[in-house]
């Protein structure tokens, strides 16, 4: 039984890896060495950036460009009420620690936190009115030009379990697109990372660790 489960896990991993490799091969333009706007990769990246930042005012993006953040944290989330509650819990607790850059302090601080979302199937693969209102209030929502995968009906929010192939592939795409976007938006940030919307982070301690520890050869956290 254990051998069969292990075999299924390996096959699932290979399927996800191959699917995403094909996505990157066919959907991401190859850099042909052409300068500036004449480069297809440059044009594609600019279009993705514009779409992802559609609900963040230009002045906010300009403010980010003038800051030198120690870390930019992208929190993967989805456009539904359960996850919106989680986002608001984080905003009202750990993102109020000193050192977190938010709209309230004109995005000044060591750590900038952004929520990274895709278009959800429950809204016809569009962004909901509630999300647009949330984005206007907080200026911290990155709306990627991609569709979320449908989550398996058996998966319940807040309960450990498998979300299904479609949702897993969507999560992998979202993670890739976040890092691809972030390295262009924040070229001076020392760390660009990803987190979840169910964490509570002791920001002052986390930032202190990042300032003191070596940047290479370090592993921090837990993978389960």
State pLDDT tens for residues 15-35.
555 455 434 433 433 333 434
Average pLDDT of the residues in 202-207: 95
User: Hey, which residues does 196 pair with through a beta bridge?
Assistant: 76
Helix, coil or strand: residue 184: helix
143-194 residue pLDDT tens: 999 988 777 555 566 656 566 677 777 888 899 999 999 999 999 999 999 9
82-136 residue pLDDT tens: 999 999 999 999 999 999 999 999 999 999 999 999 999 889 999 999 999 999 9
63-73 residue pLDDT tens: 999 999 999 99
Among 60, 140, 156, residue whose Cα is nearest residue 100: 140
Q: What is the pLDDT of residue 24?
A: 43
User: Hey, which residues does 143 pair with through a beta bridge?
Assistant: 117
Element (H, E) at 44: helix 40-52
Instruction: Report the 10 Å Cβ neighbour count for 210.
Output: 18
Q: What is the pLDDT of residue 162?
A: 61
Q: Over 90: is that where the pLDDT of 8 sits?
A: no
Which letter, b or e, does each residue of 162-191 get, where b requires 16 or more Cβ atoms within 10 Å of its Cβ? eebeebbbbbbbbeebbebbbeebbeebee
CA angle 68, 72, 73 (to 5 degrees): 165
Q: What is the pLDDT of residue 147?
A: 86
Q: What is the pLDDT of residue 9?
A: 54
């Amino acid at each position: 039984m254990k051998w069969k489960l292990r075999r299924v896990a390996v096959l699932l991993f290979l399927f996800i890896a191959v699917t995403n490799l094909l996505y990157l091969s066919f959907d991401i333009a190859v850099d042909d060495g052409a300068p500036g706007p004449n480069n297809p990769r440059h044009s594609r990246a600019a279009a993705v950036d514009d779409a992802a930042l559609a609900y963040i005012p230009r002045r906010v993006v300009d403010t980010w460009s003038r800051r030198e953040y120690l870390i930019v944290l992208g929190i993967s989330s989805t456009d539904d009420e359960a996850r919106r509650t989680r986002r608001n819990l984080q905003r009202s607790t750990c993102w109020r620690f000193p050192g977190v850059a938010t709209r309230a302090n004109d995005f000044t601080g060591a750590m900038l936190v952004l929520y990274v979302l895709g278009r959800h199937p429950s809204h016809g693969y569009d962004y909901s009115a509630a999300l647009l209102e949330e984005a206007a209030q907080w200026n911290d929502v990155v709306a990627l030009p991609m569709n979320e995968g449908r989550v398996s009906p058996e998966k319940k929010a807040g309960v450990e379990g498998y979300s299904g192939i479609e949702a897993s592939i969507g999560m992998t795409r979202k993670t890739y697109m976040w890092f691809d976007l972030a390295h262009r938006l924040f070229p001076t940030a020392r760390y660009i990372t990803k987190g979840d919307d169910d964490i509570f982070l002791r920001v002052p301690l986390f930032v202190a660790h990042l300032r003191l520890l070596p940047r290479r050869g370090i592993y921090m956290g837990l993978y389960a």
